[in-house]
Amino acid sequence: MITEKKGRITKLLFLSILLSFINITLFADIQVEFRNSKEKAYIKTVKIDNIEYFAVGELQKVFKAKHIAEDRLENKLSVSIYNETISILLNSSYASFKGVSHNFQYDCFYRNNTWYLPIHFLKNTLPTLFPSKIRFNTNNTISADSVTDNRIKVIVLDPGHGGKDPGATGKISKEKDITLDMAFILKNKLEKELDGVQVLLTRSKDEFVSLQNRTKFANNQQAHLFISIHCNAALSKSIKGIETFFLSTANTTESRAVEALENSVVMDYEGGQEAVKNYDDLQMILADMHQSEQLEESSNLALRIQSSLMEKSSTIDRGVKQAGFYVLRGAFMPSVLVELGFITNVDEEKKLLNKDYQNKLADSIVEGVKSFKQKYD
């Protein structure tokens, strides 16, 4: 009796081990073909409980994902492909990308020291996130853009204000005119100094462009950097100096004041309270995991530009600050806002209108961008 039971248990044990082997078997690999290249890659897939999965590390191998970082504290896995970050909520079937959630059907899970994602992520999610770059074909292959080049190649300059919105006004000039002049000078210098870099402007004449459309433009152009150019204003005519901002919720009263000034365009020229509400919905983007990762690069870019500006301008260093500018909120690339000086200070207004001084400021910004580019390229 006892030996027979033992035998049955052994058989059952053997059977269940066999079954578990059958449950996790290797499945057909997915071939990835790169456009404009003979290069090919394969994504290994495994079938678990009849659902096909792949290890997240395959993305690193195939798409040269810049980094795959697991953050247990925030319960997410970040994967950077084509310079964009996808945040995957651990143990769920959700990914967040540019503030939008995407469902990939089956929960991702952790096994044998790696995270597994369902193949739905390759077939549907990636082609949805990168419609112009990744396509899943009917013959179970993927066509994708080559992914080797991570360099900064497109920079969007944003001359503040314009058209019906003059920005701050000085004794003899308007902010909107100085910012446009500066943008043109800066564009020429950047394109001359940085090989192969294309510089685009959110406006190239005296016209009104809503704050939302400025960042939308940068996103559509898939810009790698966004630099918004402004002049400052203060009630006290003695106040002067340069300051550079990067995005966050404003953390000091002073930053809030500049933030209010630059954001007032929404109240004044973009449809008042209703428009403000729309922009505040953009706060959700701020909360999105994606943008927080750009904060570090934005603050680094701001630091480099500000310190470079201080070397040549001999005005007061008002430092690098954080503020919640609407114009920076929707941008999905490192973004900064530079306040080149106070138009309300008679001396500084004169300097801001001086061609030599404008060139000096532009040279400094180029230096800042150059050193940033050297670090991150």
Residue ranges in contact with Zn ion by CB under 5 A: 160, 167, 230, 262
Q: How far is the CB of 262 from Zn ion (least distance, A)?
A: 5
Residue 86 vs 320, nearer CB to Zn ion:
320
Q: How far is the CB of 327 from Zn ion (least distance, A)?
A: 9
Structure tokens at 188: 């020429």
Q: C-beta of 293: minimal distance to Zn ion in Å?
A: 27
Closer CB to Zn ion, residue 261 or residue 295?
261
Instruction: Using alpha carbons, select from 200, 206, 201 the residue that is nearest to residue 165.
Output: 206
Q: Which alpha helices (H) appear in 2-71, and where do they start and end?
A: 2-23, 57-63
Q: How far is the CB of 215 from Zn ion (least distance, A)?
A: 15
Nearer to Zn ion, 229 or 301 (CB): 229
Residue 161 beta carbon to Zn ion: minimum distance, rounded to whole angstroms: 6
Comparing every residue's Cβ against Zn ion, the nearest one is 230
Copy the structure tokens of residue 274: 């209703």
> What are the C-alpha distances in Å from 135 to residues 103, 122, 144?
18, 9, 6
Report the largest interatomic distance among the alpha carbons of the chain, rounded to a whole angstrom.
106
Separation of alpha carbons 95 and 104, rounded Å: 8
Least distance from Zn ion to the Cβ atom of residue 153, Å = 27
Q: What is the rounded CA–CA span in Å between residue 298 and residue 337? A: 10
Rounded Cα–Cα distance for residues 359 and 377 (Å): 26
SS3 for 330?
Answer: coil
- Residue 59 or 218: which CB sits closer to Zn ion? 218
Report which of 79, 330, 140 is spatially closest to residue 228, judged by C-alpha positions.
Answer: 330
Is residue 75 classed exposed, middle or buried when 0-12, 13-18 and 19+ CB atoms within 10 A define those classes?
middle
Query: In this complex, which beta carbon is closest to Zn ion, that of residue 230 or of residue 373?
Result: 230
| Closer residue to Zn ion, CB minimum distance, 35 or 164 | 164
Instruction: Please list the residues that pair with 342 across neighbouring strands.
Output: 232
Q: Which is nearer to Zn ion, 177 or 293 (CB)?
A: 177
Q: Which is nearer to Zn ion, 262 or 367 (CB)?
A: 262
DSSP-derived secondary structure for 142-172: EEE---------EEEEEE--BTTB--SB-SS
Taking the complex as a whole, how short is the minimal distance between the CB of residue 178 and Zn ion, in angstroms? 10
How far apart are CB 339 and Zn ion at their closest, in Å? 7
**What does the buried/exposed string (b/e) look like for 5-23 if buried means 16 or more CB atoms within 10 Å of the residue's CB?**
eeeeeeeeeeeeeeeeeee
